């Protein structure tokens, strides 16, 4: 299959999954929030957030394994692929066990000295913690299989698994209505069980589909490769850990200063941000393997070109839906949740803005990962990200509102983006001037203009579904027009035209086949 056709198929599969999972996830969240209540929902997000803070190894190792597999797919070295997979399986099993020990040791201290939760929910909180430990372990050992699917660009199966996972979470939410036991405990246990079942399916499928995804440690274990992967992943651990520590550290600070109700608002804000981010993350997932494979095959120019396209279009895709959502956030949350915890609207808007800024350098991050020279880069970026925590503590200690910590996070995200751009020049040769002209200016300008147009219905229409529809249509239409006029280079405009023509031709051919049958 040609590269362009593969990207089209993969993007289509992932967007199909996204359209299904977004609505399922939002509805499931509404059910769970209403059934558990704001306090228990905030408690669950707090406990699962602690696990996420400690399980940053999973994020780092996924990036590492996928990078090595995609890189060696580019070099077309099948034996190296088998060595990467088998080394990764062993490494993740060891890390999973180590993480379980770390969880258990850290858990007792957190419950006794850090976490703020109602005294009568102690048993439930500790059981949820154990369920999350189980979930984290099985999530970690599933990384080699996730990396295999992504590196092989099998986004159809990734999409299917995403839909199955969302349906599983919806089924769990529905089952909560009929249980006579503690709903919070049942919810945590079933969520852990879902993780285990998904891992078992991935193991069977990948072993049957891909020869390199079969566990044969004696034949394909490579100690030198394992050491190299662990060293590469070590710096990714630092980078991923800083992001997770920033996000969940803020959750802990909000819990200490304000309690679980504000944790519910912060959890909902992250949920909204995650659902909106699917649009840009989906495109990156389809494009990232091609960026890394280009570097593996020695085509640096193509790698940089794809990295800039990834930065610009991931920003556009997130903005396309984020702009009307931010403008109509109070009404959307009211329709979705019915009971909207305090601070939720402001936190949603601020987190989305921070994510938009991060997306401007999304392609740069992949480009640096593909080259592999990440030590200094990760140290500087991670240090900047971690500055959020002392700054947040100082702001809250001084008596500022809860949402203020996210304002400071936006400022640090801007500074981090500037450094990523400068670091990319030293690591990959990407020109900061070219990146500023081709990506930042051409991406930000259409979004600012579109936001102004999308806000016009606020001046003459009352809040409601009509204004939501008009705002959404106005924002999306303005984005499409301004992107076409300002956001695209002539070469990108020509390629987009070819892409749409190819998609239209495929759809037309499919309709002809359907009519013939």
Which 3-state string (H, E, C) describes 96-125? HHHHHHHHHHHHHHHHHHCCCCCHHHHHHH
- 229 half-sphere exposure, CB direction, 13 A CA radius: 30
Segment 104-129, tens digit of pLDDT: 877 777 776 666 666 777 777 778 77
More confident residue, 14 or 145: 145
Q: Is 485 exposed, middle or buried (0-12, 13-18, 19+ CB in 10 A)?
A: exposed
Farthest CA pair distance, the chain: 72
pLDDT category of residue 246 using cuts at 50, 70 and 90? confident
Ramachandran area for residue 340 (φ above 0: left; ψ -120 to 50: alpha; else beta): beta
Q: How confident is the model at residue 1 (pLDDT cuts 50, 70, 90)?
A: very low
pLDDT category at 470 given cuts 50, 70, 90 is: very high
455 has pLDDT over 50: yes
* pLDDT at residue 449 tops 90: yes
Looking at residue 84, what is its pLDDT? 80
The residue with greater pLDDT, 421 or 156, is 421
Per-residue confidence (pLDDT) for residue 19, from 0 to 100: 67
pTM, full prediction: 0.70
Residue 16 has which token pair? 């199909």
Domain ranges of the chain: 3-430, 438-511
Question: What pLDDT band is residue 52 in, cutting at 50, 70 and 90?
Answer: low
d(CA 147, CA 149): 6
Q: Is the pLDDT of residue 10 over 60?
A: no
Instruction: Provide mean pLDDT across the span 297-312.
Output: 85
Enter the tokens of residue 344: 């939720």
Q: 103-107, 255-259, 343-347: lowest mean pLDDT where?
A: 103-107
The per-residue pLDDT for range 174-197, each reduced to its tens digit, is 887 777 787 778 877 888 888 889
pLDDT at 491: 73
- The percentage of residues in the chain with a pLDDT greater than 70, rounded to a whole number, is 81
Q: Which of 4-13, 439-448, 460-469 has the lowest mean pLDDT?
A: 4-13
Does the pLDDT at position 62 exceed 70? no
Comparing 120 with 158, the larger pLDDT belongs to 158
The predicted pLDDT at position 447 comes to 92
More confident residue, 65 or 53: 65
């Amino acid at each position: 299959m040609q590269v362009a056709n593969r990207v089209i198929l993969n993007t289509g599969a992932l967007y199909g999954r996204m359209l299904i999972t977004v609505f399922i996830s939002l509805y499931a969240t509404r059910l769970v929030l209403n059934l558990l209540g704001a306090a228990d929902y905030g408690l669950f997000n707090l406990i699962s957030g602690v696990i996420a803070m400690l399980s940053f190894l999973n994020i780092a190792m996924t990036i590492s394994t996928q990078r090595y597999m995609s890189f060696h797919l580019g070099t077309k070295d099948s034996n190296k692929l088998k060595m990467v997979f088998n080394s990764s399986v062993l490494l993740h099993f060891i890390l999973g066990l180590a993480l379980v020990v770390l969880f258990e040791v850290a858990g007792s201290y957190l419950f006794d000295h850090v976490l703020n939760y109602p005294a009568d929910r102690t048993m439930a909180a500790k059981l949820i913690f154990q369920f999350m430990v189980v979930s984290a372990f099985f999530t970690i050992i599933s990384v080699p299989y996730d990396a295999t699917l992504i590196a092989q660009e099998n986004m159809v199966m990734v999409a299917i698994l995403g839909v199955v996972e969302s349906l599983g979470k919806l089924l769990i939410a529905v089952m909560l209505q009929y249980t006579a036991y503690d709903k919070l405990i049942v919810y945590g246990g079933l969520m852990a069980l879902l993780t285990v079942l998904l891992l078992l399916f991935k193991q069977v499928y990948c072993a049957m589909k891909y020869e390199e995804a079969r566990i044969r440690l004696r034949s394909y274990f490579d100690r030198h490769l394992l050491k190299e992967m662990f060293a590469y992943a070590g710096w990714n651990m630092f980078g991923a850990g800083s992001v997770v520590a920033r996000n969940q550290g803020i959750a802990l600070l909000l819990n200490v200063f304000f309690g679980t109700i504000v944790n519910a608002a912060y959890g909902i804000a992250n949920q909204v941000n995650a659902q909106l981010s699917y649009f840009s993350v989906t495109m990156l997932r389809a494009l990232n393997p091609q960026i890394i494979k280009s570097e593996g095959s020695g085509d640096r120019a193509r790698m940089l070109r794809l990295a800039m396209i990834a930065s610009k279009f991931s920003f556009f895709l997130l903005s396309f839906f984020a702009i009307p959502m931010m403008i109509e956030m109070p009404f959307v949350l009211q329709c979705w949740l019915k009971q909207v915890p305090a601070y939720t609207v402001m936190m949603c808007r601020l987190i989305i803005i921070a994510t938009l800024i991060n997306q401007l350098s999304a392609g740069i991050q992949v480009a640096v990962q593909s080259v592999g020279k990440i030590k200094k880069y990760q140290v500087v970026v991670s240090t900047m990200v971690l500055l959020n925590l002392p700054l947040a503590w100082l702001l809250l200690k001084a008596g500022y509102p809860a949402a203020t910590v996210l304002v400071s996070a936006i400022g640090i995200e801007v500074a981090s983006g500037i450094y990523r751009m400068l670091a990319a020049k030293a690591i990959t040769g990407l020109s900061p001037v070219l990146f500023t002209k081709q990506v930042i200016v051409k991406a930000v300008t259409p979004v600012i203009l579109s936001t102004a147009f999308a806000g016009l219905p606020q001046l003459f229409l009352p809040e409601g579904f009509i204004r939501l529809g008009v705002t959404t249509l106005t924002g999306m239409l303005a984005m499409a027009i301004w992107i076409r006029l300002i956001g695209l280079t002539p070469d990108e405009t020509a390629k987009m035209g070819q892409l749409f023509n190819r998609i239209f031709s495929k759809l037309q051919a499919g309709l002809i086949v359907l009519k013939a049958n």
